[in-house]
Structure 1
Amino acid sequence: MRFLLVEDNSNLAAAVLDRLRLDGHVVDHAADVEAADSYIATTDYDLILLDIMLPDGDGRDFLKAHRAREGKTPVIVLTARSEVSDRVGVLDLGADDYITKPFDFSELEARCRAVLRRQGGGGSNVKRFGDLRFDPLAGTLQAGARSIALRNKELRLLEIFLAAPEQIHSKAKLVDRLFSYDEEVSENAIEVYVARLRKHLAGSQAQIVTVRGLGYRISLA
């Protein structure tokens, strides 16, 4: 999953970034509204974590503008305000959830999983493709009765493929989905992760197909 964290407190932002990246998510960090606007104008995100009090504006205004643009990306508001009226207010503006500072990281992770499940239209994260049974949020993969252990980037790459089976993904698109803006990588890195994923899927009904000059797609053998 690719997340956008909008938070001006550098210590809190660093801690959240470390935790979410440890879970294998790609996370970009914006310290103000201007940077957040720039990020969402150029990249699609699976989830936005949004602070309210920002140096150049109010996070609620950002949320309102995002929804007015028909932005459907789910938003979890990070707020130090515990009054019921404040929480109701951000929900009415279009937030999908909120969490009150200070918060426990395990609660933040649980709320992210819950919002992403709702966004997926069901109570289960599990995706099935042929004999694959994949839960991207739990980080588990089974091929028939066989359990397959994936590293973070491999897991996120499979998540991208299974979100749109048979769709061709260019190397440039995969770089955008797998790496944050502060990571310097080349498209050759995608070849490495695709090769690793192919080895993991060997013997299953699913295969990663190279479409010459265009990219890669997942298909059933």
Structure 2
Amino acid sequence: MDTAAELEPGSDGGRGADAPASPVRQMSLWPPPRSTRHSGRRRRKATVAAVVLVLLLLLGAGGYALWAFVLDDDGAAPTADGEVPVTDFEGSWSGRMAQVDTDGESVAEWDAQVRIEEGAERGSTAWTTFTCSGTLELSAREGDRLVYAYTETSDPQDRCVDESELTVRPDGDGGLDAEWASVTDGGTRMVSTGTLEQ
């Protein structure tokens, strides 16, 4: 019998004329070379993934640069419609407050000093007429107004409320319109309003 290497294409391999032709034309004892079809696809996927990662990093860096540029407006944070930069509130302020009861009757006038820290998240205050003082903690931002929760830290003559709410907004002339709202121990709501100047 002829070996695989001796068979000629188109020969019947000694099977006779009526035998069907074999689809095998030539046989080899060596394994076929490894396919590179899938490794090429893996390389393409890795390349695409690397390009996407670089683009994301560039966009992230660009977004950060844009955000830093927006924030670098004299320290003012970006604001939504109707909001003013927190830098308009920062600093030391003082002014005279007029206090009224729920019927609008005048109760007292008193002097206040307010210090709002950088970032406008916290502050402190002294009600100099009553020798009271306390801390301020930002509790809400409503358009152009900041609302602070006041917590008393000193009241040697027991003349002030332990807690109240301070609302401030720019008055358009470089000052702040201020409103203190509190409830006395007897349950009476008191409101004091005035203008704070630097």
* Both structures adopt the same fold (TM-score exceeding 0.5): no
> Computing the radius of gyration over CA atoms, which structure comes out larger, 1 or 2?
2
The TM-score, its normalising length taken from structure 2, stands at: 0.20
TM-score (norm 1): 0.18
More strand by share: 2
- The higher-RCO structure (CA 8 Å, 6+ apart) is 1
